[in-house]
Amino acid sequence: MRVLIEAKLTEAEWVQSCYDQLNLIEEKRLTAMCHGYLMLKKVLSFAPDSRGKWTPNYEGPCVVKRAFSGGALLLTTMDGEDFPCPMNSDAVKKYFA
**pLDDT 10s digits, 20-54:** 777 766 666 665 567 788 889 998 877 777 788 88
Please say if the pLDDT value at position 7 is more than 80. no
Pick the CATH number of 34-97 from 2.170.190.11, 2.40.30.10, 2.30.30.140, 3.40.50.360: 2.30.30.140
Reported as a single tens digit per residue, the pLDDT across 65-77 is 888 877 788 899 9
Mean pLDDT for 82-92 is 87
E strands, 1-97, are 38-42, 58-67, 72-76, 87-88, 92-94
Domain extents in the chain: 1-31, 34-97
pLDDT at 15: 72
Length of the chain: 97
